[in-house]
Structure 1
């Protein structure tokens, strides 16, 4: 594979393919309250560090890669149990809650760690900063398959160079920092106008 796909692209794509393309294809990014909160949370794990707590070795900002899928990135935290089994810990702002795109990001980190260390990694963790609570993410066959499928889809999207259509979920758009750059309402209106124009002169069926 010529170029690796950032692990973060899988999370962005699972949230919204158009958001992923704007960030990783168009190099477009903007801040909002949610991205700023996320940056504050990640400040404490952005610098590489190694320490030991209660017999567990903790690697901070550990580089990750998976040659098989062409993925690369960085883990916030990787905990190594006494037998050497790694477990990624992804930091997120906000209270403890399940989000599929967070689980996909953790699962992608697990696939990287399995290739790097040559052993099975049964689970990862999402640490929710606001509630200071952990949520275990078991690596199921379905989650593995989804990561592999998304890696292929992201690669295809970036290679074709076309922007996907906006999301149809208004709640996703409201929370997205790229809403102004994406202009989902305008793009949706343009599509509706184009569809109406194509059928304007079609004879009516009686």
Structure 2
């Protein structure tokens, strides 16, 4: 059953959920947020992807900062970049590609190749958080345009490389499951308990999520600095 407009959840929350359920609850239930170097770099990368006007390049129309929504999945958000390539063999000049895309009916658009591209600052993750976020964007585009999207791409700024992401049955199933889990988490409104893991080191919410851990780490760092200074003074 379709979700009402007022009930749509942010696509980005799916990435937060699969990275860490506690992080997701802190951000979307408790409305807690903090910046660090990693989030700041990510914001800069997203702005670069969003900024600028749509353009045509290499036979593709490039849309930037495109609003998305899916009433079936119950999510909304913004795509960094969406590539639109006309059907193979179609004669479209550089200047007419934009106007043809604007005038295309849903039946005509169904013949186009539509590819969402999400920008990330780091490198590919072992979990599915980035891929599920991208797949949710594809599901939105499929619903909005009446198309079938077989593949998208993740661009990682640290590696300056684009990685293809096939939208196979398993990934689509994981995306639907994540959307259901997200809705349940936010409906219950309960923040899961903190568990310290290696991935916590890069999380901007670490000082708020585990303040005791941060204080212990700061104390150790202070003692280490004092020992280093004492050793330097003796040498």
The TM-score normalised by the length of structure 2 is 0.74
2:199 is matched with 172
1:58, distance to aligned residue in structure 2 (A): 0.5
Q: Does 1:53 align with 2:33?
A: no
1:127 paired to 2:131: no
> Is the contact between residue 86 and residue 121 of structure 1 (CA under 8 Å) also seen in structure 2?
yes
Residues 60 and 85 of structure 2 are in contact (CA less than 8 Å); yes or no, is this contact kept in structure 1? Answer: yes
Equivalent position of 1:26 in the other structure: 30
Could you tell me which residue of structure 1 aligns to residue 139 of structure 2? 111
Query: Moved runs in structure 1, 4+ residues, more than 3 A?
Result: 95-99
Listed as ranges, the gaps of 5+ residues in structure 2 are 88-111, 214-235
Equivalent pair of 2:50/2:81 in contact (CA under 8 Å) = no
Q: Give the superposition deviation at 1:184.
A: 7.7
1:137 aligns with 2:141: no
Match of 1:181 in 2: 208
Q: Which residue of 2 aligns with 1:13?
A: 17
The count of aligned residue pairs is 185
Structure 1 pair 113–184 and aligned structure 2 pair: CA distance change class (3 A): farther
- Alignment correspondent of 1:40: 44
Contact 1:96 1:133 in 2 (8 A): no
Where do 5+ consecutive residues of structure 1 fail to align? 187-206
Residues 142 and 148, structure 2, Cα contact 8 Å, conserved in 1: yes
SS of 1:22's partner is: helix
Paired residues of 1:92 and 1:128 also in contact (CA < 8 A): yes
In our comparison, the structure showing a higher alpha carbon Rg is 2
CA contact (8 A) 1:166 1:184 kept: no
- Contact 2:18 2:127 (8 Å CA) reproduced: no
Q: Is the 8 A contact 1:45 1:76 kept in 2?
A: yes
Which residue is equivalent to 1:192?
none
Over the residues paired in the alignment, what is the CA RMSD in angstroms?
1.8
